Amino acid sequence: MRILVVEDEPRIAADIRSGLEEANYVVDLSRNGNDAWFKGETEEYDAIVLDLGLPQLDGLSVLKRLRHAGISTPILILTARDGWREKVEGIDAGADDYLTKPFQMEELLARLRAIIRRAVGQSSPIIKAGPLEFDTRARTATVDGRALTLTNMEYRLLSYLLLHRGRTMSQGELLDHIHAGDTDRHTNSVEALIARLRKKLGFSLIETRRGHGYCIPNDPT
């Protein structure tokens, strides 16, 4: 899952990035509002963590411009402790949730998981597909009660496919959401990951749509 973190304070940005990467997210950083606006409009993210107090263009303006442009990416805004007016303005402008500084990393992660799930119509942290049970909160997966050992890349790929069940995704889209932007990426790496996942799952879950990509159907057997 790919997250855009928009925060101009270096220490806070580094802490958020570290916490998200430890939780197996791919993270891009923006230090100012103009850069955040550009990335939010031109790149695909699973969620955006947006501080409202930004240089060049404030966070509320970034939020309004993204929503005006039809960008529906889930957005979690960060506000100051006494910024209740900002919270109200942010929610009214289209934010999905807010978090008050200072905050615990676990709360940020929980709120991110929730807004990402809601965006795809998944209310429960546990996703079931046939004999597979995938816990987005504990970051675990089991098949018929048997625990799966997944690498970070395998986990990212499986979680993205599961959260977008019923939709065929190209190799390019999958690469964007499982690799950091500055890493060397090859489409055959997706093929290799899919092959390893299929072997570990032990049953037919991930379908190949030739010429289009991969898909987990809504009603896997």
Last residue of a domain, one of 96, 119, 142: 119
Other beta carbons within 10 angstroms of residue 60's beta carbon come to 21
pLDDT value at residue 143: 95
What CATH number is attached to the domain comprising 18? 3.40.50.2300
Assess if residue 184 is contained within a domain: yes
Out of 98, 119, 140, pick the residue that ends a domain: 119
pTM equals 0.89
Domain boundary among 119, 139, 163: 119
Considering the domain architecture, whether residues 171 and 195 belong to the same structural domain is answered as yes
Domain count, the chain: 2
Q: Residues 194, 178: one domain?
A: yes
Residue 183 lies in a domain: yes
| Residue 55 preceded by cis peptide, ω within 30 | no
Q: Which domain holds residue 149?
A: 126-215
Residue 107: inside a domain: yes
pLDDT by residue for the chain (221 residues), tens only, comes to 899 999 999 999 999 999 999 999 999 999 999 999 999 999 999 999 999 999 999 999 999 999 999 999 999 999 887 777 888 999 999 999 999 999 999 999 999 999 999 999 888 999 999 999 999 999 999 999 999 999 999 999 999 999 999 999 999 899 888 876 555 556 568 899 999 999 999 988 999 998 899 999 987 65
Rg of the chain over Cα atoms, rounded to whole angstroms, equals 18
162 and 97 part of one domain: no
Whether 221 is in a domain gets the answer no
Whether residue 86 is found in the same domain as residue 24: yes
Q: Are 135 and 200 within one domain?
A: yes
Indicate if 100 and 136 belong to the same structural domain: no
- Tell me which residue of 1, 48, 54, 4 sits closest to 23, measured CA to CA: 1
User: 55 and 88: one domain?
Assistant: yes
* Cβ pair 73, 45 in contact under 8 A: yes
Q: Does the CA dihedral 145-221-121-33 come out positive or negative?
A: positive
Query: What is the structure's pLDDT at 84?
Result: 78
* One-letter amino acid for residue 94 of the chain: G
Residue 77 is predicted with a pLDDT of 96
Residues 167 and 73 in one domain: no
- Cα separations (Å) of 138 from 141, 187, 195? 9, 29, 24
The CATH number of whichever domain residue 207 belongs to comes to 1.10.10.10
Task: Extract the tokens encoding 213.
Answer: 């990509």
3-state secondary structure the chain: CEEEEECCCHHHHHHHHHHHHHCCCEEEEECCHHHHHHHHHHCCCCEEEEECCCCCCCHHHHHHHHHHCCCCCCEEEEECCCCHHHHHHHHHHCCCEEEECCCCHHHHHHHHHHHHHHHCCCCCCEEEECCEEEECCCCEEEECCEECCCCHHHHHHHHHHHHCCCCCECHHHHHHHHCCCCCCCCHHHHHHHHHHHHHHHCCCCCEEECCCEEECCCCCC
